[in-house]
């Protein structure tokens, strides 16, 4: 293989899909040029990482497999219980039974870029997605827990198909007549709940970026309504906006 230029081999590896890497590894495994050895080594590590990711995703399907005979399985999660401003948002996601989406995880464990990528894939491949909101005013009126329950119930009601069982992140939603399974740290244990957490997180983050253009002093695009130093300083200086939760900001104004 010494007659093949290293630049050409680099191009081959760079353009190769995961399915093509084993062939290239075999093809160049006897080439002892340092740069080629490194290319082969990186490809092997890339395939090893892929296999580990596939195994992790299979483990996250434990509850989906357990209840597979029940019909449509819906994962539910919320984002935005803690911020000083903005709504609480809930996501409800029904994934296909043969879901092959990799890298789904608790949204807090993913970069913004990866969440955005996965959001598009989930919205494309999911059997159904529902999103529920509750406003800062409603949060002040009935408290954040009850507002979260309402947002979750709303998300379920907006699904295009009725689920047969709900996998929830740690809670049981009152007033929903569908069997529910609360799972502690469910967004790290169930692929459906993790998908719901991604949808809810991306939806809320995008909304807070829009609010940033309306109320630029509070830096909502970066803090998403949470109590960052810049946010609290602006709150003290300018007072609350219509999207602030009055029941959350008593210590700052």
Write down the H helix ranges in the chain.
6-15, 21-28, 34-59, 62-66, 112-125, 136-142, 144-157, 191-214, 220-223, 229-238
User: How high is the pLDDT of residue 1?
Assistant: 57
CB 167 within 8 A of CB 73: yes
User: How high is the pLDDT of residue 183?
Assistant: 98
Domains and CATH numbers, the chain: 6-59 (no CATH), 62-247 (3.30.420.10)
In angstroms, the Cα distances linking 211 to 22, 39, 165, 223, 231 are 48, 46, 35, 11, 13
- Where is average pLDDT lowest: 25-34, 129-138, 216-225? 25-34
Any idea what DSSP says for residue 219? -
For residue 133, what is the enclosing H or E element?
A: strand 128-134
User: How high is the pLDDT of residue 2?
Assistant: 64
Share of the chain above pLDDT 70, in %: 99
* Stretch 18-22: mean pLDDT: 92
Task: Give the strands of the sheet with 73-79, arranged side by side.
Answer: 128-134, 88-94, 73-79, 165-169, 179-183
User: How high is the pLDDT of residue 3?
Assistant: 78
Residue 137 pLDDT > 80:
yes
* pTM of this prediction exceeds 0.85: yes
Average pLDDT, the chain: 96
Nearest CA-CA partner of 60 in 187, 174, 181: 187
Phi/psi of residue 167, nearest 5 degrees: -100, 115
CA 170 to CA 219: how far, in whole Å?
31
Residue 234, C-beta contacts closer than 8 angstroms, at least 6 positions apart: 217, 218, 219
The pLDDT tens digits for 45-95 are: 999 999 999 999 999 999 999 999 999 999 999 999 999 999 999 999 999
The pLDDT tens digits for 144-185 are: 999 999 999 999 999 999 999 999 999 999 999 999 999 999
């Amino acid at each position: 293989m010494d007659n093949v230029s290293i630049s050409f081999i680099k191009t081959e590896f760079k353009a190769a899909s995961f399915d093509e890497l084993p062939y290239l590894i075999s093809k160049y495994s006897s080439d002892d040029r340092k740069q080629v050895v490194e290319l082969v080594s990186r490809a092997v590590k890339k395939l090893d990482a892929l296999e580990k990711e596939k195994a992790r995703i299979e483990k996250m399907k434990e509850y989906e497999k357990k209840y597979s005979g029940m019909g449509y399985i819906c994962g539910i999660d919320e984002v935005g219980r803690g911020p000083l401003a903005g709504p609480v948002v809930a996501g409800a996601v029904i994934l296909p039974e043969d879901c092959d989406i990799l890298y789904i995880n608790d949204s807090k464990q993913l970069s913004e870029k990866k969440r955005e990528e996965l959001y598009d894939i989930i919205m494309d491949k999911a059997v159904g997605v529902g999103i529920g909101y509750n406003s800062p005013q409603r949060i002040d009126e009935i408290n954040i827990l009850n507002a979260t329950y309402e947002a979750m119930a709303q998300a379920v009601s907006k699904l295009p198909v009725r689920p047969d069982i709900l996998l929830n992140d740690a809670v049981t939603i009152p007033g929903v007549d569908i069997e529910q399974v609360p799972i502690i740290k469910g967004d790290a244990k169930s692929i459906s709940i993790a998908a719901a957490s991604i949808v809810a997180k991306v939806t809320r983050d995008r909304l807070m970026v829009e609010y940033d253009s309306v109320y630029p002093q509070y830096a909502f695009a970066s803090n998403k309504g949470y109590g960052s130093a810049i946010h609290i300083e602006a709150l003290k200086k300018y007072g609350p906006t219509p999207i602030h939760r009055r029941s959350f900001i008593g210590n700052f104004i």
